[in-house]
């Protein structure tokens, strides 16, 4: 990403956007290269790993709050997060 942010074309096209993040920090992202005057693109910071996992468990699997709380108590959420982090690390190594 450092090369992308340092690229002269990125600066010329003003493609770097600084956005507030849920970690209470500001993150730099590359904005969409598409520019539409009638319908501007809205940018948002990426989510943190697992930030919306419990919400998605409720929505996609139709679990109740009590069922999700039970999974958390039994350690399933931590296992899920470890698998997601391992998968992301593996993907990064293979690309």
Q: How far, in Å, CA of 46 to CA of 35, rounded?
A: 20
Measure CA 38 to chain center: 27
Q: For residue 6, what are its two tokens?
A: 């340092």
Q: For residue 33, what are its two tokens?
A: 């290269």
Residue with more model confidence, 5 or 89 = 5
Question: What sign does the dihedral 28-33-37-39 (CA atoms) show?
Answer: negative
pLDDT digits (tens, 9 = 90+) for 14-32: 888 888 888 888 888 888 8
pLDDT digits (tens, 9 = 90+) for 60-94: 888 888 988 888 888 887 787 777 777 776 666 66
pTM of the model: 0.49
**Which range (1-10, 53-62, 84-93) has the least confidence?**
84-93
Q: For residue 47, what are its two tokens?
A: 């989510």
């Amino acid at each position: 990403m450092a090369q992308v942010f340092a690229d002269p074309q990125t600066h010329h096209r003003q493609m770097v956007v600084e956005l507030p993040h849920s970690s209470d920090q500001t993150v730099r992202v590359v904005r969409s290269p598409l520019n539409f005057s009638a319908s501007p693109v809205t940018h948002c910071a990426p989510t943190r790993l697992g930030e919306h996992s419990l919400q998605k468990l409720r929505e996609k699997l139709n679990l109740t709050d009590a069922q999700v709380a039970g999974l958390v108590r039994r350690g399933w959420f931590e296992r899920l997060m470890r698998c997601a982090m391992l998968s992301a690390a593996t993907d990064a190594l293979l690309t």
